[in-house]
Amino acid sequence: MAKPAPKIDSRRNGRITLCKSACRIPKGVIHVQASRVISWSSTGTCGFKGTRRGTPFAAQTAARNAIRMVVDQGMLII
């Protein structure tokens, strides 16, 4: 049986790499409930600018900010 053909790296430096398979998650569950808007937040309103707005930490900060505003209004988080 023949080996898979090696590919030359796109940086044109002559390195030869073998194709690696990507790690995939076969199953998952996502729950989304769409209703009226009670509170919202974004990474821009939290003080992030430029490319830092797209980071996971910025998203986490925006989510915490939105949850904090809802809890202050008296909603229970389960």
65 or 1, which is more confident? 65
Domain ranges for the chain, please list them. Answer: 40-78
Length of the chain in terms of residues written = 78
- In tens, the pLDDT along 12-56 reads 555 555 555 666 777 777 665 667 888 889 999 999 999 999 999
Q: Which distant-in-sequence residues (6+ apart) come within 8 Å of 16 by Cβ? A: 6, 7, 8, 9
Percent of residues in the chain assigned helix, strand, coil, to nearest 5: 30, 5, 65
Q: What is the mean pLDDT of residues 51-63?
A: 92
Residue 5 corresponds to which tokens in the numbers above?
Answer: 């053909």
